[in-house]
Amino acid sequence: MKAIVSMVAILLLCAFPLPAADFIRGDANADGTQDISDPITALSFLFSSISVPCQASLDSNADNMLNIADPVHQLANMFGGGSPPTAPYPDCGPDPSTNPIPCESFPACPDPDPVLTWEVMPNSPVAPYYHHDDLCFPSPDIGFICNISGEIWKTTDAGDSWTRVLNQPGSSFRSLTFVDTMKGWVGNLGPGGWVGSTTDPNVIYATTDGGINWTPISTASISGPTPDGICGIHAIGDTIHGAGRYAGGAYYISSTDGGVSWLSQNLNVDFNAFVDVLFFTPDEGYITGADDSNDAVLLHTTDGGANWTIVSTSNAYHYWKVGFASATFGYAVCWSGPDSNKWVQTYDGGQTWTDRVFAGGYEANGIGFLNEQIGWIGGHEDTTYETLDGGDTWNLMQIDTVYGDGINKFLRISDTLVYAVGNRIYKYADHSNPITMNVPESKFDNSLCTLAATANPSSESTTIAYTVPEAGHVQITVYIRGGLIYDRIVDEDQIAGAHSVEFTAHDDTPLLYAAIAVGRYRQTIKFVNQRGLEDGAVPQIATEIRPIQAPIVNDPAKIAVRNTQQQMRERLKQREDSEVRFLQRIALELGNEAGP
C-alpha cells in the first residue's frame, strides 16, 4: 500500500498541470511558417534527439503520438495533396486534445496574456564597487556586460550564467557594442577621467572571437586627435560610432570599415562632455552630453557625425542615457544639476522633444521604456522609478533586495523582454508559465556586512567603521558621483570582525560615497565631507534618499493600466502559492506514509 501511495504522489507531482503555450500544428521549428524545414525538424527530433520547445507542434496528424507518420503527413500536405493539419492551424491556438502533448513555449505565438515582471538573474555577477555599466545582446542567448572596474562578462544562455572573459583593473570599460556574436568593441574611459585608478590609455578594444580575446585599436589607425576616453559606443554593420567622455573632453570617433581605420573629431570648442551614443543607421543617431556652458544637450546627426544639431537642452550637468522604444517614441534622462528631476521625450521620431518631470532628490542614470506607457528610470540608488501611464506618475520599486538596484542601462529586446544592468543583471519578462517563473534566491544575508561613517568635526576627518563577515580580501573605495575613485582606503586581506579606518578628504568635495566589497558582500553609504562644510555648519551624515510620495492618480484610464499590472502580479503570486501548497500536501502525504 505504501508503494502505491508513493507512486501516486510522484505521478501527481509529475502531472501537476502546467499551462501549455499556444502553437501552430505542423510548424515543427516554431518559426511561424510551414515549409520543408518542418518535416526535417520532426525527423531530427525522432531520430537525432534534438530538443524542440513545443513537441505538440510536431504532431501533424493530431493522433497524440509522435512518430514517423507525422513528417509523412506534413510532406503529403506540402507535395502530395494530402489533408492539412487540424486545429490549431493555420493560426496560433491552444491544443484541443484532452490528453495534450507538452508545449512549453512557441516563439511564433506570443502569450496572449503575459505576466511581465522583473527578476534578478540569479547567477549574475555582483559589480565590484560601483554598478555594471553597459550590456549588449547580439543574439537571444549570447550577451556581454562591462564595468568601470575593468571587467567584461559573457553569457551564452540568455543570462542564466555568466563567465568573466576579461579582468583588467587598470582599464575602465564604460560601454560595449557587437555587430554579431563574434565581433565587438568596448570603450575605455582612459586616465585622468572619473575613475582615478585607470591607467590604461587605450580608448577602444576590439574582439573578433566572441569576447575571448580583446586587442586595443592602434593609435596609428586613428586620423585626428586621439580621444581622452570613450563613454558611449554603438555599431551599425561596419560603421562604429563612439564618443566621450562624461568626465570632460568631447570627442566623436567613427569607423566605416569595421574598425580598420578611425576618424576622430575634437568638439571641445562647443561641448565639454559626451556620455551616450545611439544610432539607427550608419548616418542617423544621437549623442548625449553637455555644452560649453555645462547645460545638458542632446545632439542629432543625419550625415554620420559630420554635422550635429542640438535638439534638446536642460539645466542639468548632462543628459545620461537616450533610447527609443519604437520608431517614434524616444526618451533621455537628466543627470544632476537643477533639472535633475527631469527627463525628455519625443512622440514624433525626434522632430520635437518635451521636458517631463519624474522626481526630485534622485541621482538618475538609466532610462528605458517597454512601450509608450510602461517605463523605468534607474540610478545610483537602491530603488528604481516605474511609470505605468507614460510618465505622468512615477512610483518607487526595488528589484534587487539584496544589493539594491543601481541601474545604469536598460536594454529593450522586444515587446515582452527588457534587460537592465546595475549592481547585478535584471530581466523583465513573461513569467506566466511556472517553468519560467522566478526561482527564489538562496538565502544570503548581505546585512552581515556593515558600513557606517561618523564625523569628527574637530579634525575634519571621518571614521569609517565596518564589519567583515568572513575573512577575505577587503576593498573600501571612496568615490564621488559618477564613480570617480576618490581614494581606496582599504585594499588588503582581513580577518572577520569589526574594523575601522580614519579618512580625511584632500579637498572640499561636499558629498562622498564609500563602498565595501568582500567576497559576495557589498554595502554602500554616502556621507558629508567635513572639509566641505561651511563655517558653523552642523556636521551630518547623508545616508539615503527619502522615498518620494507618489501623486494621486484620478484618470480612469491610468487607473485601469495600473490595476491591470497589479492584477498580473497578484495572479502570479496566487499561482506560486498554489504550487507551494500542492507540493507541501504531497510532502505531507509522503511523510505520513513513511511514518510509523
CATH number where 471 lies: 2.60.40.1930
Other C-beta atoms lying within 10 Å of the C-beta of residue 593: 15
Q: Average pLDDT, stretch 53-77?
A: 91
In a domain, 303, yes or no: yes
Identify the CATH number of the domain in which residue 252 sits.
2.130.10.10
Which of these three, 298, 314, 330, is where a domain ends?
314
Q: How do residues 226-284 score in pLDDT, each as one tens digit? A: 999 999 999 999 999 999 888 778 999 999 999 999 999 999 999 999 999 999 999 99
Q: Are residues 152 and 62 in the same domain?
A: no
- Could you tell me if 77 and 160 lie in one domain? no
Question: Does the N-terminal peptide bond of residue 546 adopt cis geometry, omega within 30 degrees of 0?
Answer: no
Q: What is the mean pLDDT of the chain?
A: 84
Q: Is 482 helix (H, G, I), strand (E, B) or coil?
A: coil
153 with 219, same domain: the answer is yes
Please check the confidence at residue 564 and state whether its pLDDT lies above 60.
no
Q: What angle do CA 385, 389, 395 make, to 5 degrees?
A: 25
Q: In this structure, are 183 and 139 located in the same domain?
A: yes
Question: Structural domain tally of the chain?
Answer: 3
* Residue 137 and residue 60 share a domain: no
**Domain termination residue (choose one: 290, 314, 338):** 314
For residues 530 and 504, give the distance between their C-alpha atoms in angstroms, rounded to a whole number.
Answer: 8
Looking at the structure, do residues 62 and 165 belong to the same domain, yes or no?
no
**281 within a domain of the structure (yes/no):** yes
What cell was used for 460? 575634519
Residue 1 lies in a domain: no
Same domain for 194 and 79: no
Identify the DSSP state of 403: T
- Is 559 inside a domain boundary? no
Q: Is the same domain home to 178 and 73?
A: no
> Among 440, 349, 392, which residue's Cα sits nearest to residue 550?
392
pLDDT for position 329: 97
Q: Is the dihedral of CA 354, 357, 361, 367 positive or negative?
A: negative
Contact (CB, 8 A) for 184 and 206: yes
**Which of 333-342, 374-383, 396-405, 483-492 has the lowest average pLDDT?**
483-492
> What is the per-residue DSSP string for 117-138?
EEEE-TTPPPPSSS-EEEEE-S
Name the residue with higher pLDDT: 548 or 352.
Answer: 352
> Residue with C-alpha cell 583593473?
169
Please indicate, yes or no, whether residues 455 and 500 belong to a single structural domain of this protein. yes
CATH number, residue 76: 1.10.1330.10
What tens digit of pLDDT does each residue of 22-50 get? 899 999 998 888 899 999 999 999 998 88
Q: In terms of Cα–Cα distance, which of 187, 186, 306 is closest to 256?
A: 306
In a domain, 214, yes or no: yes
In the three-class reduction of DSSP (H, G, I as helix; E, B as strand; rest coil), residue 61 is classed as coil
Instruction: Decide if 14 is inside a domain.
Output: no
Question: 441: helix, coil or strand?
Answer: coil
Same domain for 266 and 158? yes
* Side chain identity at residue 319, one-letter code: Y
Mean pLDDT of the 371-378 span: 96
Local structure of 280: helix, strand or coil: coil
**pLDDT > 60? residue 218:** yes
Can you tell me the distance from the alpha carbon of 475 to that of 468, in angstroms, rounded to the nearest whole number?
11
**How far is C-alpha 41 from the chain's CA centre?**
34
What confidence score (pLDDT) does residue 105 get? Answer: 82
Residue that is last in its domain, among 73, 97, 121: 97
Residue 185: how many other CB atoms lie within 10 Å: 25
Regarding whether 216 and 157 lie in a shared domain, the answer is: yes
Whether 219 and 295 map to the same domain: the answer is yes
Q: Which long-range contacts (CB under 8 A, 24 or more apart) does 304-308 make?
A: 304/239, 304/254, 304/256, 305/241, 305/252, 305/254, 305/265, 308/252, 308/267
Entry pTM: 0.73
Model pLDDT, residue 297: 96
> Which has the minimum average pLDDT: 315-319, 540-544, 571-575?
540-544
75-98 pLDDT per residue, tens: 988 887 888 999 999 989 888 887
Query: Residue 486 belongs to what domain range?
Result: 446-532
Asked if residue 588 is part of any domain, the answer here is no
Give the mean model confidence (pLDDT) for residues 143-161. Answer: 95
Domain presence at residue 511: yes
> How do residues 280-308 score in pLDDT, each as one tens digit?
999 999 999 999 888 999 999 999 999 99
The string of DSSP codes covering 332-388 is: EEEESSTTTTEEEEESSTTS--EEEE--SS--EEEEEESSSS-EEEEESSS-EEEES
pLDDT-derived band of residue 53, with 50, 70 and 90 as boundaries?
Answer: confident
